[in-house]
Structure 1
Amino acid sequence: MKIALLGNGAISRYVQQATLKQGLHIEAFLLRPQRLDENHQSVASDSSIVSSVTALPPDVTHLIDCAGHQGLAEHGPAALRAGLDVITVSIGALADPDLYDDLVSSATEGGSRLHLASGAIGALDTLRAARSGQLDSVRYTGRKPPQGWIGSPAEQILDLQSPLPSALTHFTGSARDAALRYPKNANVAAAVALAGVGFDTTEVELIADPTISSNIHEICASGDFGSFTFSITGNSLPDNPRSSALAAMSVVAEILAINKPIRS
């Protein structure tokens, strides 16, 4: 397996360090043209730095997307058509039906696969198993401190710069609407939707809560299997409070699972 990283932000830097410890080398970095020069000092000296899929070294087999929705939309289809497997944590981007179809057709054309890292949530294996029967309802609730919603549409509903009197809901709707309206905040909603009943049937509630200091993700589901409630309180990466540590870890786990003879 020869890997290239898309992006060089906090999640990408975590992946770089973790894969290095596992003896894996980053063959190349795929970055925006305007960031090529500024990133030469922050990546391994023997890694190529390119701005397009066609410029990647010919021995690269996997592109690891750490660049967000725009990066996956811009480079994911080209990589898949070129026969590269793509691992992404930008799952919310798949709420766009046109992009979803493009990724499917590109993977089919290239004989490749798009691997979805689990991101900042767990229990997705339970949802995938449960959907083999009848899943009656799946609800995802995302709860963050008010500052965690700054830069999102929540600012149009709540005054996030002033102390909130209590936990306040600023979005209720489908996972598709959440993922499209909150591209930097609702990847978890998309992951839950894809594992369970889909983007349009998965219910989502997003809450700004002044009483917490970490992000809390909760899934409630019921169906033929019974019912379950799963909740996780997630820490952020030390060098970027907006990036989930578990999301970065899930990318590393997906990379390491590729070559395992037995996958758990």
Structure 2
Amino acid sequence: MRTAIIGHGAIASYVTTELRRLGTAPALVVARPGRGQVAEAALGIPALTEIEDLPDDIGLVLDCAGHSALAAFGPSLLTRGIDLITVSAGAFADAALADTLAGAATAGGARIQVVAGSIGGLDALAAAGTGGLTRVSYRGRKPPAAWRGSPAADLLDLETLCEPADFFRGTARTAALEYPKNANVAAATALAGVGFDLTEVVLTADPGISRNRHEITADGVFGQFTFHIEGRPLPGAPGSSALAAMSMVQAVVSRNSAIWT
């Protein structure tokens, strides 16, 4: 089965390079109108801008381009019966978009896989959910610079902050909608656990750390667990999580394996 990829940024470039090394590189890149040549140059594979132009032997598309690209291309892909793997967990906080994607997948007999992205422990969280969860919380702790360009900049003086400051407390749905470039992990946690409206989220700017830190705590019939990870960005791309890119590669490798975990 041949694959295509959406996007031509840092994560898409990493995924394409690693899959090429493994012998399963995407055959095509899907780009927005006017961006085809840029995408071809970035990834070294042919580009197209219309889903209708995808060859019939493309059976899987990897979305590495963000929420708006998933909304733009996802429904058409799924209606055609093409499976989709995405890193854009936060897009599912938009209930209307989530319903549209689910409806398109059902109509086309396709499936959407949301990769874990920058976090781990979601397999345990999902398993615990089958027995019953009573509380799931997520805290995203990042250096002040990581929150530039987000609503946090209107709430805090990110340039002079000298101690940790919580600037958001609410649900995963609100976090994902208000901080679309910073709350994919909160959304992935919600999808794996108790949903967008019951997952508690705290977002923190912390001048005492240099890496993004993600923390999940869950209680339920299974017991209690706490998971945290300090992630590094992709080299040369401070806004892109290395683990998010790696999780996409792993998803493709697992899909092509006879035995997987």
Give the AA of the match of 1:6. Answer: I
State yes or no: 1:25 paired with 2:22: no
After TM superposition, give the deviation of residue 4 of structure 1 in Å: 0.5
Partner of 2:139: 141
Describe the superposition over 1:178-228 as per-residue Cα deviations: whole angstroms up to 9, x where unpaired.
011111100000000011000000000000000000000000111111101
2:245 corresponds, among 231, 248, 255, to: 248
- Contact (CA 8 Å) 1:28, 1:57: kept in 2 or not? no
CA–CA distance in structure 1, aligned partners of residues 26 and 111 of structure 2: 20
SS of residue matched to 1:58: coil
Give the AA of the match of 1:56. Answer: L
After TM superposition, give the deviation of residue 48 of structure 1 in Å: 2.5
Q: Quote the sequence identity (%).
A: 50
After TM superposition, give the deviation of residue 53 of structure 1 in Å: 1.0
After TM superposition, give the deviation of residue 261 of structure 1 in Å: 1.6
Describe the superposition over 1:120-170 as per-residue Cα deviations: whole angstroms up to 9, x where unpaired.
00010111111112211000000000000011111110111x221200011
- Contact (CA 8 Å) 2:7, 2:39: kept in 1 or not? no
Partner of 1:54: 52
Partner of 1:120: 118
2:200 corresponds, among 174, 192, 203, to: 203
Partner of 1:64: 62
- Contact (CA 8 Å) 1:27, 1:57: kept in 2 or not? no
After TM superposition, give the deviation of residue 34 of structure 1 in Å: 2.2
> For the aligned residues, what is the CA RMSD?
0.9
Partner of 2:215: 218
2:155 corresponds, among 149, 152, 157, to: 157
Deviation above 4 Å: which 4+ runs of structure 1? none
Give the AA of the match of 2:152. Answer: A
Question: Any unmatched runs of 5+ in structure 2?
Answer: none
CA–CA distance in structure 2, aligned partners of residues 39 and 156 of structure 1: 34
Question: Any unmatched runs of 5+ in structure 1?
Answer: none
Give the AA of the match of 2:10. Answer: A
Give the AA of the match of 1:107. Answer: A
State yes or no: 1:87 paired with 2:88: no
CA–CA distance in structure 2, aligned partners of residues 249 and 40 of structure 1: 22
- Contact (CA 8 Å) 2:84, 2:112: kept in 1 or not? yes
CA–CA distance in structure 2, aligned partners of residues 237 and 38 of structure 1: 20
| Change over 3 Å in CA distance of 1:259–1:39 after alignment to 2 | closer
Q: TM-score, normalised by structure 2?
A: 0.98
After TM superposition, give the deviation of residue 41 of structure 1 in Å: 2.4
State yes or no: 1:166 paired with 2:186: no
Partner of 1:188: 185
CA–CA distance in structure 1, aligned partners of residues 128 and 31 of structure 2: 39
Describe the superposition over 1:230-262 as per-residue Cα deviations: whole angstroms up to 9, x where unpaired.
010000001210100000000000011112122
- Contact (CA 8 Å) 2:29, 2:39: kept in 1 or not? no
**How many aligned positions are there?**
261
Give the AA of the match of 1:239. Answer: G
SS of residue matched to 1:131: helix
Single out whichever of 114-123 and 34-43 deviates more from structure 2: 34-43
CA–CA distance in structure 1, aligned partners of residues 130 and 26 of structure 2: 38
State yes or no: 1:230 paired with 2:216: no
After TM superposition, give the deviation of residue 26 of structure 1 in Å: 1.8
SS of residue matched to 2:259: coil
CA–CA distance in structure 2, aligned partners of residues 203 and 106 of structure 1: 30
Partner of 2:76: 78
- Contact (CA 8 Å) 1:77, 1:106: kept in 2 or not? yes
Q: TM-score, normalised by structure 1?
A: 0.97
